[in-house]
């Protein structure tokens, strides 16, 4: 996968996708599998904004029981199974615990009913999952004693037990987003990151593509397409405004959600903890929404907050106050945590849409995806906006996007193939067997820890890293301070995965920085490797290092 702006400027595409988050990337992959000629441009890096703000959970929709929304519940169950099937190296089942209290909606009786309904609604959840290691177990009710054994820090006053249910967890959400990009590129899609849309090209009442700017060189060019899909999430209304305004209003209303990394607070299960936020849409309200404390690779991830954000989406930042307020809320809900802001090595987050219905309620995000064909509201053909609200259902939303694209092109839509086509690295029938075999057959220089990391990150394509290390032995060494990441991963990210900035490799192509600051030595070595590949001078290297350092500061 490489940027080819010359090709973008010379071709006429069936579909241009503006926005390289997971929804846009999934749509590009789907469209290519169904035979469309596709281009995708992204203003920043692939999956760098809202898509990177996930809590690493692939939800099966159990929470939709509160809304009696069985359609979305079935949709989520199906898509969770699909993710487990098409990306088995990056998604795996994981247990969740919801403690039970009292006699109302948080009671054992209510949770017993929830388990029963969930079992009925997800009766076929494992039908197309031949790998036993990727099957979702049944839920169950546990005793107070077992609940405290699993989560000794929960509030004990009124505790009666708990409900165990299983969802799925991503090993590396950034690589999962990238897998959609790699899969799309491998099927002929032309993708480019760091390309900003300046305006939409109009031919009468039809959008025929967009004028774009390469943010690396400043050069401007046009991308011509028969149909254009706006999939920019929090930037969607701004892109729509480009129809008539070269500099649209940047003041928008969004929900700001953040997650924090903390020392491990719980070991064996993810824990649902009541938050201070109420759910105004719930038919059967438990009183508050939950946030989750999830064990993940030696730390805990805690999220998600939900507050109003007003202003330019490009100016989104997580502040020290955001972190301190969230830490305080965690300590109120789970006093045993005894967290301090100083114990948070990293925080990440993003913006999500707010529906008009919920604006007055505070910050409550949109809960259903939106598809807006602009022929109906603006009288403009060949242009539509799609806003997704859930990482789990990105593949399903992509189906809707591509179906609409075919409709706008005047063609019938071919068979959908993404349900049964593995993502890049996902050609694995039995994950545990594949892992054991890969570890046993690992090449010299790669110990078991490194090999397990490569399999979890690159799946069936892990040889792209080990082969590169064979060809250039100096790239087989680890990055300083990391027990897992090889220098070859940095070089490969630049050569084959469109890594442009140091942040791209530290936070998205690898997981060096997702648990906290990787260390000065790691940043310097990564900058040296990238500098060698991209001809950076000393000043550019220092600038890139400082930009990454800024991600770990909360103003």
* Chain segment 53-97, per-residue pLDDT in tens: 899 999 998 888 877 888 999 999 999 999 999 999 999 999 999
pLDDT of residue 170: 96
Longest dimension (CA), the chain: 70
CATH of the domain at 443: 1.10.8.870
How many Cβ atoms sit within 10 Å of the Cβ of residue 407?
14
- 463-483: average pLDDT: 96
Question: What length is written for the chain?
Answer: 555
How many secondary structure helices (H) and strands (E) does the chain include? Answer: 17, 18
For 315, list phi and psi in degrees, rounded to 5.
-95, 5
Instruction: State residue 223's pLDDT score.
Output: 98
Is residue 360 pLDDT above 70, yes or no? no
Domain span including residue 477: 439-550
Position 542 in a domain: yes
Mean pLDDT, rounded, for 458-473:
97
Band (pLDDT 50/70/90 cuts) for residue 195 is: very high
Is residue 108 within 8 Å of residue 161, measured between CB atoms? yes
pLDDT band at residue 363 under the 50/70/90 scheme:
very low
pLDDT at 285 over 80: no
In a domain, residue 171? The reply is no
Asked whether residue 219 is domain-assigned, the answer is: no
Nearest to 59 by CA among 94, 99, 29, 100: 94
Pairing status of strand 38-41 against strand 190-192: parallel
Average pLDDT, integer, range 26-31: 98
- Greater pLDDT, 132 or 253: 132
**Mean pLDDT value of segment 437-455:** 96
pLDDT above 90: residue 42: yes
Residues 181-209 have a mean pLDDT of 97
Per-residue pLDDT, averaged over 548-552, amounts to: 96
Q: pTM for this one?
A: 0.93
Q: Are 327 and 293 in contact (CB under 8 A)?
A: no
Residue 456 lies in a domain: yes
Mean pLDDT of 340-348: 95
- Kind and range of the H or E element at 159? strand 159-170
CA-based Rg of the chain, rounded to a whole angstrom? 23
> Residue 274: pLDDT above 90?
no
Q: Which of 378, 335, 327, 348 is nearest to 506 (CA)?
A: 348
Mind listing the pLDDT tens digit for each residue in 119-160?
999 999 999 999 999 999 999 999 999 999 999 989 899 999
Helix-helix angle 173-186:22-33, to 10 degrees: 30
Q: Which two three-digit tokens encode residue 211?
A: 């004028």
Q: Tell the residue number behind the tokens 């595409």, with chain if given.
A: 13
Task: With respect to residue 468, please indicate whether it lies within any of the assigned structural domains.
Answer: yes
Identify the bridge partners of residue 159 per DSSP, sorted by sequence position.
101
Provide the domain count of the chain: 1
Where does the pLDDT of residue 248 fall: very low under 50, low under 70, confident under 90, or very high at 90 and above?
low
Sign of the alpha-carbon torsion through 135, 141, 143, 145: positive
First-residue to last-residue Cα distance in the chain: 36
Q: What are the angstrom distances between the C-alpha of 251 and each of 19, 168, 248, 388, 462? A: 19, 36, 9, 21, 44
**Any idea what DSSP says for residue 382?**
S
Peptide bond into 108 cis (omega under 30): no
Structure confidence at residue 358 (pLDDT): 39
Residue 153 lies in a domain: no
Banded pLDDT at 287 (limits 50, 70, 90):
very low
Q: Which of 335, 189, 321, 314 is nearest to 252 (CA)?
A: 314
Q: Is the pLDDT of residue 284 over 50?
A: no
What mean pLDDT comes out for the span 275-287? 49
């Amino acid at each position: 996968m490489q940027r080819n702006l010359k090709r973008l400027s010379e071709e006429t595409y069936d579909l241009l996708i503006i926005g390289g988050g997971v929804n846009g990337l999934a749509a590009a992959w789907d469209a290519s599998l169904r035979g469309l000629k596709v281009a995708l441009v992204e203003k920043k890096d692939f999956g760098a904004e809202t898509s990177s703000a996930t809590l690493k959970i692939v939800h099966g929709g159990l929470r939709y029981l509160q809304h009696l929304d069985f359609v979305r519940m079935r949709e989520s169950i199906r898509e969770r199974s699909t993710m487990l099937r098409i990306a088995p190296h990056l998604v795996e089942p994981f247990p969740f615990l919801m403690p039970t209290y009292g006699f109302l909606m948080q009671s054992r009786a209510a949770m017993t009913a929830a388990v029963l309904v969930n079992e009925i609604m997800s009766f076929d959840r494992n039908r197309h999952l031949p790998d036993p290691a990727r099957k979702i177990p049944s839920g169950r009710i546990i005793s107070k004693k077992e609940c405290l054994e699993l989560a000794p820090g929960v509030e004990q006053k009124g505790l009666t037990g708990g409900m165990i249910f299983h969802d799925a967890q991503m090993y590396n959400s950034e690589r999962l987003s990238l897998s959609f990009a790699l899969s799309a590129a491998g099927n002929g899609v032309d993708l480019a990151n760091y390309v900003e849309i300046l305006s939409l090209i109009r031919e009468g009442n039809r959008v025929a593509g967009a004028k774009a700017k390469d943010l690396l060189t400043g050069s401007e060019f046009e991308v011509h397409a028969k149909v254009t899909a706006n999939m920019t999430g929090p930037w969607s209304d701004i892109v729509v405004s480009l129809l008539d305004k070269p500099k649209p209003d940047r003041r928008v209303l969004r929900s700001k959600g953040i997650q924090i990394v903390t020392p491990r607070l719980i070991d064996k299960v993810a824990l649902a903890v009541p938050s201070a936020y109420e759910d105004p849409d719930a038919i059967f309200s438990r009183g508050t929404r939950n946030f989750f404390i999830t064990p993940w690779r030696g730390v805990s991830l805690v999220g998600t907050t939900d507050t109003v954000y007003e202003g330019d989406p490009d100016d989104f930042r997580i502040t020290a106050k955001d972190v301190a307020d969230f830490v305080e809320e965690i300590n109120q809900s789970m006093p045993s945590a005894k967290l301090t802001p100083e114990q948070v090595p990293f925080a990440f987050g993003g913006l999500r849409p707010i529906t008009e219905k919920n604006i007055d309620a505070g910050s409550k995000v949109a809960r259903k995806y939106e598809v807006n064909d602009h022929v109906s509201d603006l009288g403009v053909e060949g242009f539509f906006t799609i806003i997704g609200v859930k990482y789990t259902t990105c593949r399903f939303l992509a189906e809707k996007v591509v179906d609409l694209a075919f409709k706008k092109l005047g063609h019938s839509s071919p068979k959908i193939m993404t349900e049964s086509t593995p993502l890049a690295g996902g050609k694995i029938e039995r994950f545990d067997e594949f892992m054991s075999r890969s570890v046993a057959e690992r090449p010299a220089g790669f110990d078991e820890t490194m090999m397990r990391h490569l399999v979890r990150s690159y799946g069936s394509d892990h040889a792209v890293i080990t082969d590169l290390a064979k060809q250039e032995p100096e790239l087989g060494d680890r990055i300083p301070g990391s027990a897992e990441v090889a220098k070859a991963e940095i070089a490969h990210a630049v050569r084959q995965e469109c890594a442009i900035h140091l942040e791209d490799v530290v936070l998205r192509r690898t997981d060096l920085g997702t648990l906290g600051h990787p260390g000065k030595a790691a940043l310097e070595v990564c900058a040296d490797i990238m500098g060698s590949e991209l001809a950076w001078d000393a000043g550019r290297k220092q600038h890139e290092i400082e930009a990454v350092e800024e991600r770990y500061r909360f103003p």
